[in-house]
Amino acid sequence: MILYWLLPAAITLGIISSLEDIRFGKIRNKWIYFGLGYAVLVYHILFFFVDWYDLTIIHFYALALNGIIALAIGVLLWRLRLWTAGDAKLYLCFALLVPPMLILGKPSITSIDLLINTFIPIGLYLAFSALEKSSIEQKIAALKHTFEPRRFAPHALLLFFLIWPLKSLSSLIDMEGIVLIAVLAIMLFFNQFSKIHSNLGLLAIIALAASRLLFDSSVLSQQAWIEFGLLILLFVIIRFYLNGIAASAFTRKIDVHDLREGMMPAKVFVQSQKRWVLQDFP
């Protein structure tokens, strides 16, 4: 099985990266190079020197596209500050070391499965841990912060618009990774655009939402509004409510003079008017 060629490196990289992340708060690049180099070496052997797996050019293209999708998703999540550059590089390594299209014996683009199967179990664990550790006051404060109109409305309008093109895209392209890349790219665009032109960004989002009302006939159905309501509720619970609770439950204030190597900041440093300020992660 091809799995036996790749599994030792995947397990080794997983153990080393976990230990380094716990001890130092980062993963050194030499281990990323090890994972990428091992994957390239194994694929070179499998495609050019081994005949009994019946790998074709279709498998090669699927494997390459799988890596490109993983790289694009990793970079976009990094640019959106949803994880670090090290996490993006590590995700690319594992996407190449655990490629379902080779393990299952058929060419398919499934690097998105690795992302989902990693984030959902860990996300559920962290969510329940945050709910358990946070106080009633912290839960109420996070709830109030979640539905602040200036914070909630732009995301609701943008999500309302995104449902429209993404439904069309998913019906044309049967690749969850491509659809996710489109979502993240649009989010990044509006994130960057709003920083430069905050008022114009909001007006653009309102205009896009209005265009869906005018040109998408599906909004006339009750089912469309039920789907939108459930999606926006799920989004704000995960993105704002649970994130707010986690920020209270898993962080503590510390004097800048007491900072030590390996500590992870709960806020991001942003340069504003020639000075550095702390802001919440977007």
Share of the chain above pLDDT 90, in %: 2
Residue 269 has pLDDT above 80, yes or no: no
For 136-180, write each residue's pLDDT tens digit: 888 888 888 888 888 788 888 888 888 888 777 666 655 566 667
**Alpha-helix residue ranges (DSSP H) falling in 49-83:** 57-79
Q: Which tokens in the block code for residue 91?
A: 């995700």
Task: Give residue 56's identity as a one-letter amino acid code.
Answer: T
Most distant pair of Cα atoms in the chain: their distance: 64
Question: In sequence order, what are the residues at sequence separation of 6 or more whose Cβ sits closer than 8 angstroms to the Cβ of residue 204?
Answer: 190, 193
Q: What is the pTM of this model?
A: 0.70
For 242-258, write each residue's pLDDT tens digit: 888 887 777 777 777 77
- Taking CA atoms, 219 is separated from 195, 215, 224, 231, 243, in Å, by 30, 9, 6, 15, 30
Give long-range contacts, CB 8 A cutoff, 24+ apart: 250-256.
Answer: 250/126, 250/129, 250/130, 250/133
* pLDDT mean across residues, the chain: 79
More confident position, 280 or 85: 85
Q: Which of the given ranges, 7-11, 61-65, 265-269, has the highest pLDDT on average?
A: 7-11
Which of 39, 280, 80 is CA-nearest to residue 180? 80
For 202-260, write each residue's pLDDT tens digit: 788 889 899 999 998 888 888 889 988 988 888 888 878 888 888 777 777 777 777 77
Element (H, E) at 272: strand 267-272
